Amino acid sequence: VEVTCGQVFFIPAGSRYTSYWHGTEEIIYFAIHFHFDNWYSKFSPQRFCIQKIETLSSDVFFHHFENIRKYVSCDGYERLKAYGSFYHLYAEVLPLLDCAKLKNTALERIRNAVDYIEHNSEKEFTVKYLAQMCHLSESRFYALFCRALGCSPIAYRNIVRIRKALIMLGKQYTIEEIATKVGFSSAIYFRRVFKEIMGRLPSEYRKNLNFNIEDIRRL
């Protein structure tokens, strides 16, 4: 996918890609990172491939982007303006996305397992259990899962747990309480996994809590 100044492009979460920047001038780009809990709803980004959005005006994008940036860190009802602008923008983008190019059959074959992890991330389960859910051998399931999502099933469960922990860090829970609620066996293990994924400890994240959309860029 080749894009030039002012163009908008779409990269679904979990996509594998390499970017190359050409030219000598400084390059600035703006990104909105987001995630839907249900990967397989008709609104889910996982139904699409990396692509340039040919007919979306950059003016439309920046109008909504500025509203999101302005209100996402606000408290109370003001933050709803950011959510409203995001969904308005996504409503503009969704009809323009081409899903005909998507040939990720691996993702469809592990669909039941991904859904289970999304809704039961606090539980302990084995790869074998997930494989049986998808009617696959353990080795075949593991290979398909890694190909489709770019990580192992257990690593993905940790990502889902940390995603839930990010929300709880904005509330009056202790680190120990959050660790227990999202499914970690100890606060020490929770801190270690959190730092591996987010690049900093939960306490450090909480001190600079901003609820910026880019805080979940790795998730």
pLDDT tens digit string along 2-23? 888 888 888 876 666 777 887 7
H or E stretch at 90? helix 78-93
Residues 121, 160 contacting (CB under 8 angstroms): yes
Q: How many residues does the chain have?
A: 219
Lowest average pLDDT, out of 23-27, 36-40, 139-143, goes to 36-40
H or E stretch at 45? none
Show the tokens assigned to 165. 């922990």
pLDDT tens digit string along 188-208? 999 999 999 988 899 988 887
Q: Locate the DSSP E strands across the chain.
A: 8-10, 51-53
All structural domains of the chain with their residue ranges: 8-96, 105-216
Show the tokens assigned to 145. 């899962």
Listed in sequence order, the residues at least 6 apart from 87 whose beta carbon sits closer than 8 Å to its beta carbon are none
d(CA 184, CA 199): 18
Write the DSSP symbol of residue 8.
Answer: E
Phi-psi region of 181 (alpha: psi -120 to 50; beta: other; left: phi over 0): alpha
Q: Supply the mean pLDDT for the chain.
A: 83
d(CA 90, CA 33): 12
d(CA 158, CA 78): 31
For domain 105-216, the CATH class is: mainly alpha
pLDDT tens digit string along 27-64? 888 888 777 665 555 556 556 778 888 877 888 888 89
Write the DSSP symbol of residue 48.
Answer: S
pTM metric for this prediction: 0.58
Predicted confidence at residue 217, as pLDDT, reads: 45
**CA 216 and chain centroid, separation:** 7
